[in-house]
Every structure is written in structure tokens, then in C-alpha cells.
Chains A and B, each alone.
Chain A
Amino acid sequence: MWYEIFRFEIKYRAKRLDTYIYFAIVFLSSLVAVDFFLQGSPYTMKENAPYIIAKTMTILSAFFMMLVSMIMGVSILRDFNYKMESLLFVNPIKKRDYLLGRFLGSFVVLLFIFSGVLLGFVLSEFMPWKDPEKLIPFNLWNYVRTFIYVVLPNLFFGGTLFFVSGALSRKLIVVYTQGVLLLTVYLISMVIGQGGENKIIAGLLDPFSFQTFDIIVEFWSPTELNNKSLPLEGLFLYNRIFWIAMGSVILVLGYFGFSYNVVRNSIFKKKTLISSKKENRIETDISTIKIPVFTQGTGLKSKLNQLLTHTLFYFKSILKEVPFLAIVICGMAIIGINSISLGTFHGVNSFPTTYLIIEELKEMALIFFLIILIFYSGELVWKERDVKLNLIYDALPVSDLMHLTAKFLGLLLIYVVLILGLIVAGILFQTANGYYNYEIGIYFTGFFIGVFPYLVLFTFVSFFMQVITNHKFLGHLLVILFFVLTIALQLFGFNHSLIGFGGNELGTYSDMNGYGHFLAPYFLVKTYWMSIAMLFFIVTVLLSVRGTETSLKKRFQMGKLRFTPSLRKLGVVALLVFVFSGGYIYYNTNILNTYLSSKEKEEYRVAYEKTLKNFEYVQQPKMVAINLTVEIYPKKRDYTVEGRFILVNTNKMALDEVHIQKRSNDDIRLDYIKFDRDATLNNAYEEFDYYIYKLNRALQPGDSIRMEFKQTATTKGLIEQGQSDRIVENGTFLKNDLFPTIGYNSKYELKEKEAREEYNLPPRKRTPVIDGLREVKNGKRGDDGYEINFEIVLGTDIDQIALAPGTLQKEWIENNRKYFHYKMYEPMINFYSIVSARYEEKKDKWIPMQDSLGRSVDLEIYYHKGHGYNVDRMMKSMKRSFDYYSENLGPYPYQEMRIMEYPRYAKFAQSFPGTVPFSEAIGFILNVEEKEDLDMPFFVTAHELAHQWWGLQLIAANVQGRTMILESLAQYSALMVMKRTFSKEKVQQFLQKEMQRYIKGRLTEEVREMPLSKVESGQEYIYYGKGMVNLYALQDYISEDSVNLALRRFLKDWNGFDGELQTDRYATTNDLLGYFKEVTPDSLQYVIEDLFETITLYDNKTTKVEFEKISDKEYKIDLSLETIKYRVDSLGKESPIAINDWIDVGVYVKGADGQEELIYFKKHKIILEQTTLEIMVNKEPSKAGIDPLHKLIDRNRVDNVKNILNE
């Protein structure tokens, strides 16, 4: 019997068009899934690497869970919707047969639809757009096994969940809500996984097994990732078994829970007993009842009254739905689940500020809004028809417009409820975290201005789709596709506000600058899209189904008759708004300002390179003095610079040309350039803002020339986000790259390999080779001048403080503006920034412990009011840093050190001479928990201060290894300050984090992993992560003092201003390693090679630990260790090499307080892959192993130490 039902189900689906549409959608999505997924992802593996296949297939199967719900969820539901249940259940079908038949039937249909995944993936490898270089040889089994291991169990679990929830609840929305549930489980597993310790649970709990993969491949090398298949074992296997088991449990529960009756007891509500007692009814003579006289309102007031009542009716009908309430509660709960980590920076969370909560909620609750939007707009459009009240409603004297508008507004009110729920949840969350600065205004702006317009726009779309298709599911699906398409188009560069649906998002909120200049263009663009949406809404109204005519053709014909005067008026208004707002946007974007599509931008850069590249190494003079007057107008977002550069010919030949590059932004105008000798301008390259001045009298070697210029930057009209966040109402942050520079600027060159190929440009090395003759003479940062005298006058609004490098000479008020004059007494490199904002100030002084360490330094922190949380940490860090650096590296040249907060449009701190602009996002609002967290404000400050030596005093040549000198040494220096200030555990914690960064970062390498000493730009995981770990290891091997001695010598010789080695080039890592080798004993010279010159990794493991109690004071431990040392060759291949290394071995005991304590810790010489050791300790050991503190880069760190079980 079940077979009959099974067959019926399949036949039913086979006859329906939507089955094939679903298949086509799945197939086509699968065809492009890998390309789409890799677009903008950090993964750099081969495009058909098993890992990529698994990851993409998993994402796709998770995304198409909605199809699973549409197929599986409705198979039982359908019988109830079509009121078939009475006919069906009366037949002699057993419940088991009914459920089994339906389940298997729809599951087979589901398999058919999802076979599109397999087919699409396999075929995608043969698509013409595939680059064979990015593929490994075709292997069908890679696809099939992933499909079997990942997709099938996911389908099975999802299928049972949706099937059973549909069967039990008999409500579609309950089925859809299960999707939310799945997502929530996934999010929970993600949060658990973030902790690091509960990875096993996370990997097991992830219903899609996303994280399971990542946990498994955590220690894989790039080669393995490219080639090795995910083995169905361990965590992955358990995860699959777990979810299949869960599916089976659901199925069994569903079987017993399903009531094979037409009338059933509601899950949600106790059935109200129908009172059986006869009511005493009086049959009145109805003819005596007169219907009272009334008036039928026709005026506007009455219309509004109708609209309001109608709207509220729909609103209440959704409000009463249990699933809706479930969604609201889930949405409210999600902030609790997910916001454990808000605004996290290196593991440290921020205070739960309102804007962070909003950003989090916007991201997390998106899915809830989408579900409500898609589902309930369908329900509302079909509301009357679903209960067959439509003919009564359709015959009412209510206009089509009012009918649809009421539904529309009703749904908007539903969003309001969800938003209010989220706001309440946010406030509760803040309260629970002891943060009481509730900014209700920001909550409302964030949601009702930042989110609501999109909901409105997509609701318009959804209504349109529902009406056009006149098919609920198809409508749902089209809305989702539209949504995905909108995002895709934006990713692919269709981002002009006039074209990208809905326009851009409201810009980033900053405590300093609020929503700043983002609001006005945002409103304008939203007005434009609203008018378009309104036009579509009119079409929706005209085509909406009323009465029994449902064919689209018929509705088109009838539409003309339904185009009432009020609709016409509305149409005209919408059209006018559309034309005017669109025109105004166009005027602002394309006429007042220059709009370049991303393609045009590329072309400009290509033309720049092709035309001007031959000037790259043209000899030019260097700046030796800069004197600027900068007027900042924060409110207008304008500034002017008048400046004087003194240029000196440092070359051996006379120069007769000066090449000036103006920043190529069109909001910047160069008013004039004058030289103190006659020069004629060659305008040939004006389109690139590149000006060549031919000097009438050549500049002799050693001679100087004075250049004067004026530059005006004007913000014109309403510029959309992305154009300039540098000059803002509160929190301006300008860098010297905005001012005229000298010569060809290679920053304009296209970088992406594919793009360069497309334009026939030769491949560009991301970093010049270490022994490149030309680039070793280029210090890159500040390459127009490495030793300048600097003086600047800044004017700004009267309530702001403007800051730049230098000692404050004078401050005054003039014309109701505030002026500051700064002057640097020591030379600095040509690298400076200007900030201006309304600031609070914190001032202190660093006084050196002894005179030999230099002068005292004024310490100043400028921060936004209310952001004082970590100012003391930063101040402390400045003092400790100056203590350590001046003692170990050399004196600090300047008289002051300033930290200035700037808005969170960018998230970095950067060291300029004597000044560190520090982003609002990464230190000022961090909530540092003393016990668990690293003191990141302290560390970042120490790191940036270290750059006052590494980068600002010692300039590294623009070649491979440059960032090791700049960043790795800054990381190391800061860590040493940490080591002196904080506990050992904190240092360990830091090293672990950086090790993790390196191990993870390797997997996302785009070109080739380099050894530390030849690290290239963009390889942050190497120069930050590995750099810190390996320099720490070096000082562990050869002592901190030796390392510092080497560094001190290095600085002394290569210092940019008065270095003792007066060479014509800048320092490289070859030089640095020389100083290291000098202080390293012969026995440890191999360490330099392992740590810096090569890529060397270990796989250390403790295979056996046993101990024997000899007496109360003597315990003999037998250790079996395994050590594999890997070396990565120049082709990226990883292979084991011989070992002859000193490696730590440690034994722990349980201390009195339960903490593990190292009682034995010593380096042993390891020469074999397998080593056994005998160690004597005087207490009962608890665990032991090799490299317990993880000083060496280890592929799998968790097996280094083994617990000793009872003897």
C-alpha cells in the first residue's frame, strides 16, 4: 500500500512544472557555485580541490534547505490545504503506509532535484571560463563522495525535520521556522567553536558540518588541502552519524506524534470545549428588526479610516500567529547567543555599544526579516483566497489600491514589532553586560532608517512577484533569487546608486561622527528607489487578482479599466519623484563629481601605467623641508593647503625636470605650483594629473629649489559613501599622500594578476626581489624625502583640536577659527598625518630613568568624550614602551608622543613621527577582561611606538623582507614590553594567537608562502604571526639580551638620519640576519636558517608517557616522543628533513591550586624521529611532553603534551 502512495507522490511531482524549475535552479547554481564562492573569498586552493568542493557543496545544500522545506514540508500539508484529508484518511490506508509513502516519495523527488548539485558541480569543471592552471586533474569520485557524505545526510536530516514539522503542525510557516531553528543551531555551534576548547562539540553540533571541515583541516598543509580528500572518519563521521540519527529520531517522533485523524488536538492550544448544553435561544421575529439608517462615507477621512482598520486587521492576524512570535523570540535570543563577541579585536570584545549591537543584529536578524517578508507577503496576498473569502472581499467597494496597501502596511507594522523586539533584546543585553548607555535614538535611526527602507523595498518586490506569478512558492523563490541577484550584481560592480537595487547601505556609524555625511545621500537614493518601487506597486495593483480571472493575459487586459484616477495621480507623483530624484542623483554623482565605473577605474590605471611607467626611475630631487598651512573646514568637508617644499638634488647629475603628481581625485584642485626659478610646464600628461616642469636652469647636484603650491579640496554635492571618509565633520584624518608628490606613483598600478593579463600588462611582482638594485634605494614610505624639516600651521573649527607631528609652537583664535602651529625640531621622514576633531585630552610625561636614555617625552592622548575606558592602559603602555625601547633599541628623537582617536571608518593604528592616529574601533571601546583577555590597547600602543624605531628611524628597503624589519620587529619589541609587564601566561596566550594566525594564514596564501626573511607585502600571517613567534623563539634560544644587542647594532648602523653606515641604499633582512648571526653561537646557527631563511615546520608529538614511583621524592618518567621536521621547498612542496635540533621537553605537576605547573623544563637535543627519554622528577607528574609551550611552529599543537593516566 505504501508503494501506491509513494508512486502517487512521485507522479504528482513529476507532472508539476515547479519540480523542474527547482531542478534547473539547483543545477544552474551548482554550475557557478565554485566561482561564486571563490569570488572574494580568502581561499586560494585549486578550484576543484576536495576541500573547496566540500565547502561549496555544503554551502549550497544549506542554502537550498529552503527547497527541501518546499518539497518535504508540504507533502503532508498539501492534503490539509486542499482539504483532501477527509477523503484520504477514510481509506483503508495505514498510518505507516501513508507517512512512509509520502516521505519516501518526496525524498526521491528531492534527490532528483538535488542531483542537479552533483551534475552541476561535475560539469562546472568543464566550463569555458575555467582556468586550467587552477584545477587539479578531474576526479569524479571527489564530487560523488562529497555528495554522498555531505549533501545526502544534510538532505535527510533537513527532509525529516521539515516533513515532520509539516505533518505535525499542518502549517507552512512552522515548516519555514524550522529553517530558523537550524540556523540557530548552526550559530550556537559556531559560537561554541570560537572558544577553541569546545571544538569537538562545535564540530559535532554543526548541522551542515561547515565547522567540522575546518576543524579537521586545521593542521593540513596547503598541499594536502589541494589534494587530500576529507576522510570519512573521526569528527566528520561522528557528525554525520549524529545528524542522521537525529533525523531518524525526528522521523520516529513524527510517526508517533502524527494523528491520523481529520480533527486533532492542537499543539499550541487546548481545545475549547464546545458546550453541549442547549442554549435557550429565543427565535425573535426577524421582520421586526429594522436595520438602522447609516451613512456610507466616501470622503478622505472615511477612506483613511478604512485603510487604518484594514491595515490593523492584517497586522493583528499575523501578530496572533504562534510561528511569528517564535521568530520574534528567536530573533531576540540571537543577540544573546551571538553577541558574546561584539566588536572583537584579537579576542578582546568591545563594550556593547548601541551601534555595535545594531550592526550585529542587522546581520544576524536579516534571515528573520527575510523569512517574515517572503512568507507573510505571500500569505497576505493570498489571505482571502486561502480561506475562500476572496469573492466576498473582491465584491466590496474597496479600491484595489487600498486593498493591497492595507496588506502592505500591515506587513510593515509586523516588521516594526520585530524591530522593537530586537531593540528591547539589545537593551536587555546591554543591561546584562552592565552597560547602561542606552542610545534609543541610535537604535531607532539604525533600524528605522538603516534597515526599514530595505524591508519596504523588498516587500514591494515580494508583492510584485506574488501577484505576477500568482503562485505562492514560485513567488517565494523569485524573491529569494532577486535578493541573491541584487547582492551578486553589487559584487560584480554594478554599484551606481541609480542601478543597484535599493542603493547603498547607510554608512558606518561612529561615536565621533555619528552617521555624518552619509545620511543626506542615503535619503536621496532611498527616495529614488521608493519612487521606482511605487511605480511597480501601481503595476502590482493593476494586475492583482480580483474575482475569478487569474490568467496574466486577462489581468493585463483588465488592468486598463482598473487604472483609476487616484492610481493615475499616484503614478504621476511617483514618476515625478523618480525623474527628479534620479536626475538629482545623476547630477551629484556624474556631473558635480566624476563617476567612474570599476571598469573605467581599471582602464584609467592601465593607461596611467602604460603612459608613465617609463618615468618610474627618472631621477628626481628629494624633499628636505616642508612648510604647510592647512585650513580645514569640517562642516563643509573642505580643506586648502598652501605649502612650501624645499627640494634638493641628491643625485650625481644635474636635473632639468621636476615631475609632480597631483592626487588623482577629482575633488582636489591644484591651484598653482611655483618654483623659485623659471620653469615651463609640460601639460602632456594632464589627464593623469602628472605635471612635468622643465627648469630653465638645471638643478646642480647638492643644489636646492623651492616649490610653492596651493591645493584646494572641495566636497561637491551629495557624494555617496566610499568617496571620502577622510575629511568629516568630526574626526578628519588626512595623510600626506593627498598632497602633491614627486614622480611616478606605482600605487596606481593594477595589482591583480588576471586584470593585468587582460590588459596585456606584464606581471607585477608584489614585492621587488631582495637584491634588486633599484628598489633597495627606495624606502617606499616617504620616498619623496627621508630626512625633512617639518613645520605646519593648522586651522580648524573653533571647537576642534587639530594635530600634526611636531612641538606645539603657538595656538590662537582668528576669524572665529582655531589655529595651531607645530614644528619638528629633529628631522623626520616624509610621512605625516593631520587630524582634527573635538577631543578630550589626557596628558602625562615619560621621564627616562637615566639621562643616557634621552630626553623626557610629553605623552598625550586625544580621545572622544566617553571613550576614556582604556586611556590609562595606553598611557601605561607608552611609558613602559619608552622604558624598554630607549634602553634596548636606542633613544627616541622627538619631544612628544601623541595618540589621536579617529572614526571607525578604518580599523588600524598607524605610527607617524611622534603621532599615532588610532582607530575608534580597535582600542578605545574594548572591554578588556583582566583575567581572560590580552590587553590589546596596551599591545597596539606598544607596537605602534616600536615603529618610532622600526620604520620611522630605521628605513627598510622596498624589497622582500621589508615587512619583517618593520612589522615583525615591532611585534617582537611590543611582545618584550608585554613580557616585562604581564604574566608568562599572557605572553603564551599571545604567542598561541599569532601561531594560529600563521597556520591559518598559510591556507589563504594567494601566490606563494615566503620564508620570513623574504616575506612579501600582503603576507600578514607571516610578518605579524610567524614573525612574532619566531623572533620569540630566537630570543629563547640565544637570550633576549643577545637579540637586543643585535637590534641595537642594526639600528645604530642603519638609522636613517645619522646611521653609521652611510650607504646609498636602505636596510634589508640580509643585513638584519647578519647582526643576528653575529650574536648566535655556532651550535645554534641552524636556528637562524630554520626560523628566518626557510619555511620550517615541526610535527611534535608525545606518543607515550608513563611514570614509575620510586619513592615519595622520586618519580621516573618514560617519554616516547615523535618529531618530524618539515621543510617547504621553493615549489611549495613540504617534505620531512633530518633533525638535529634542541627542543623543549617539559613535565607538569598539579599544583596546590589545581593549576598545572612545569617542574621540569629543559631543551633536549633531538636527532631521531622517535625518541625515548627517561626523566626524574620529585613530585607526581600529571602530564608531560615535547615543546609544551609551543615555541616551534607546529602543525598539530594539541598532541605535544600527553596526560599521564594513573599508573
Chain B
Amino acid sequence: MKLIINNLSKTYSNGVQALNKVSLEISTGMFGLLGPNGAGKSTLMRTIATLQEADQGTITLGDLDVIKQKNEVRKILGYLPQEFGVYPKVTAEVLLNHLAVLKGITNRRERKEVVKALLHKTNLYQDRKKNLGGYSGGMKQRFGIAQALLSNPKLIIVDEPTAGLDPAERNRFYNLLSELGENTIVILSTHIVEDVKELCTNMAIINKGEVLLRGNPVKTIETLEGRLYKKTIAKKELQDYKQQYTVIAEKLLQGKPNIHILSDTDPGNGFIPQQADLEDVYFSYIFGGMPLHS
């Protein structure tokens, strides 16, 4: 089964163009959607998750027309929104059980088993009798994934799932996600490059509503091979460097700017070659106006 997005556009009533002719083909496995805040990721995700209308374009999932056959899609969809709340006075078990019924698991015995397994899987079993109001951010996020996994979805959409999680929680979450990609389409939107690097076999970079790059993370890194240089400079020099070079990333290293530039030739001037990683790819597309060449 494949998810095919074709020419999808969306402009909000306030004039913001959230999606501009987005076309993507996503097959089974983990797919990372990388982009800065406000790039249109959530709009795209919500549209795929049947929660938003597009102005034009189509989305198909296998034989299903996502725009028109919303309810069919919902049957095989697991969705974890970017931001969600919970009923504070309901326990995880009760709410999950309730959601399970709504997902169609109406056989009581089966449902009990599924809910139990998912609570175990998300490591919430011990806290299942606690009111959701008392959950920490990580627990809540795990609850979110538990509900997304109910009903054995063919398409899972997780929108910025690791935002606000501490490293330990994030790891736990990765473990959960990584298991899913085997026979499901999992779309993971994030602005954190690490997420994609660690989990995804395929990815797209999206900014200002447009797809800037799609491909395999490893292969995209290769395109920067031998073209990346770095240097630690003084703060006041930053502007000059920015004018002279294609600066794609600037980080502080012990208080001083450490810049990455893109150059087909060795720029000299104290720059030393740098092993490219996905982050550089990301920055080069977002800030560096890539591709400079193929």
C-alpha cells in the first residue's frame, strides 16, 4: 500500500499558504517529514489524517481517496496530533478502552487484551488506574501513541511526537516507533533532525509549504560529501562570513560561533573539512538554498 500525495495546496483564510503543490509518494516504513516550525508539516499531516480540507490536489491511500472516503481511511488510521489534551479525571485505561470501542474493537474480551498489551507496550500499565490529569508530558505522549496504535493501523501519523520530551522519554518513544515501520506506513513529522536520522528510511524536507527534498537520509547526506567545511570565528565576523560564504549552519561552541559552509572547493581561510550529517542537509536546504548542484 502506498500513500500518494499529488499537487496538494492549501491557503488559509488569513492568506498564509500552508501547502504549495506538495507531491509525495510514501510507502511502507518510517517516513520523516522534516521542516522548521510553520513549514506546513502539521497542515499536511492533518490533511492526510482527514481533519482538514485541501484547496486542491489529491491524496490516495491504496485504493482509497483520502479526501472523499474519510471514514474508510479513519478505519486504518492511527493519528497522534502535535498537541492534545486529555480528560483530567479519567484514567488511562478507561479512556483507552473507550477509544478502542470507538475504533471498532467491540468484542469485550479482545478489547481487554489489546488495551492491556498496548498499556504494557507503552509502559503505562502500572499507571493505568491513574487519572490522566496527573500524567507527565512523556506519559501523556506515550498514551497518545497507545491510542494511535489501537486497531492495528495501516497508516500512522505522528506529528511532532518528541517535542518537549526529555532524552530518556525520547528514547523510549523511538523504541516504540521503530517497531512500527515494518508493515505500516508511518509518517513522522518533526523539526528535530535526530528523529529522522535515527528512525526513518525515507524523508522529505518541507519549508514554506513546499517540498524541498525527498529521499533516503543516508543518500542525501552523500550529496554533501566533501563539500562541507567548518570554522570557529569571532562573533563580530559573522556578518562578513555570511556574505562571503554559503553559511548553512551556525552553532555556538563554547560561546563562539561555529559555522558550517558549503563549498565545492576548499575555501581555505582556516576552514577545515567536516563530515556531513543529516542536520547539515537540513540546514543546507532550509538556509543554504540547496541544491547548489546535483
Contacts and interface: CB of A to CB of B under 8 A. Distances in A.
Contact of B49 (A281, A291, A395): A395
B120 interface: yes
B192 to A, nearest CB: 21
Interface stretch (B69-77, B210-218, B239-247): B69-77
Interface in A244-291: 274, 279, 281, 283-284, 286-287, 289-291
A1007 to B, nearest CB: 63
A434 interface: no
24 contacts: A281-B126, A286-B176, A287-B179, A289-B121, A294-B113, A297-B107, A306-B101, A306-B104, A309-B98, A310-B101, A317-B87, A387-B85, A391-B46, A392-B79, A392-B81, A394-B50, A398-B102, A399-B71, A547-B50, A547-B53, A548-B51, A548-B52, A549-B53, A554-B53
Interface residues of B, number: 53
A869 to B, nearest CB: 52
A392 B121 contact: no
Given A391-B81, A549-B52, A291 B88 contact: no
Interface string A784-819: 000000000000000000000000000000000000
A305 B75 contact: no
Contacts of A395: 49-51, 74, 77, 79
A297 B147 contact: no
B86 interface: yes
A785 B68 CA distance: 82
A1205 interface: no
Nearest to A551: B13
Contacts of B52: 547-549
Nearest to A548: B52
Contacts of B114: 291-292, 294
Contact of B106 (A297, A548, A554): A297
Contacts of A292: 110, 113-114, 117
Contacts of B92: none
Interface in B93-118: 98-99, 101-107, 110-111, 113-114, 117-118
B149 interface: yes
B81 A289 contact: no
Which DSSP category, helix, strand, loop or mixed, fits chain A's interface? loop
A432 interface: no
A1206 interface: no
Nearest to A313: B98
A306 B102 contact: yes
B123 interface: yes
B103 to A, nearest CB: 6
Given A286-B175, A392-B79, 18 more contacts: A283-B123, A284-B123, A291-B114, A291-B121, A291-B152, A294-B107, A294-B114, A295-B110, A298-B104, A388-B85, A389-B85, A391-B79, A395-B49, A397-B75, A547-B46, A548-B46, A548-B51, A561-B70
A547 B114 CA distance: 27
Contacts of A313: 98
Contact of B84 (A279, A306, A317, A391): A391
A283 B105 CA distance: 28
A573 interface: no
B47 to A, nearest CB: 9
A416 interface: no
Interface in A513-565: 546-549, 551, 554, 557-558, 561, 564
A569 to B, nearest CB: 16
Given A291-B152, A296-B105, A297-B105, A394 B121 contact: no
Contacts of B90: 317
A279 B125 CA distance: 13
B120 A297 contact: no
B134 A274 contact: yes
A396 interface: yes
A611 interface: no
Contacts of B121: 286, 289, 291
A302 interface: yes
Contact of B83 (A297, A298, A310, A388): A388
B89 interface: yes
A294 B101 contact: no
A106 B103 CA distance: 45
Given A286-B176, A388-B84, A294 B105 contact: yes
Nearest to A297: B106
B171 to A, nearest CB: 11
A396 B50 CA distance: 10
Interface string B58-80: 00000000001011001101011
Nearest to B105: A294
Contact of A391 (B51, B120, B152): B51
B151 interface: yes
A320 interface: yes
Nearest to A279: B126
A309 B68 contact: no
Nearest to B109: A294
B278 to A, nearest CB: 25
B50, B53, B114, B152, most chain A CB atoms within 10 A: B53
Interface string B31-53: 00000000000000010011111
B117 A296 contact: no
A392 B147 contact: yes
Nearest to A281: B126
A828 B79 CA distance: 89
A392 B144 CA distance: 9
Contacts of B122: 286
B103 A397 contact: yes
Contact of B103 (A274, A284, A296, A557): A296
Given A286-B123, A292-B117, A389 B50 contact: no
B85 to A, nearest CB: 4
A561 B68 contact: yes
Contacts of B84: 388-389, 391-392
A387 B86 contact: yes
A389 B80 CA distance: 10
Contacts of B118: 291
Contacts of B51: 391, 394-395, 546-548
B104 A297 contact: yes
Nearest to B151: A296
Contacts of B176: 286
Contacts of A289: 117, 120-121
A391 B86 CA distance: 11
* Interface core residue of A397, A548, A549 (most chain B CB under 10 Å): A397
A287 to B, nearest CB: 6
B101 A305 contact: yes
Contacts of A306: 101-102, 104, 106
Given A274-B134, A388-B83, A547-B46, A302 B104 contact: yes
7 pairs of A and B residues whose beta carbons are closest in the complex = A547-B51, A388-B85, A296-B104, A397-B74, A391-B81, A294-B110, A302-B106
B156 to A, nearest CB: 11
Interface string B131-153: 00010000000001001010110
A387 B110 contact: no
A534 to B, nearest CB: 21
Interface in A365-396: 387-389, 391-396
Contacts of A391: 46, 49, 51, 79, 81, 84
A361 B121 CA distance: 53
Contacts of B110: 292-295
Nearest to A561: B68
A393 B101 CA distance: 12
A399 B110 CA distance: 22
Contacts of B86: 387, 389
Interface string A1064-1092: 00000000000000000000000000000
Nearest to B53: A549
A396 B123 contact: no
A398 B104 CA distance: 8
B124 to A, nearest CB: 11
Contacts of B83: 388
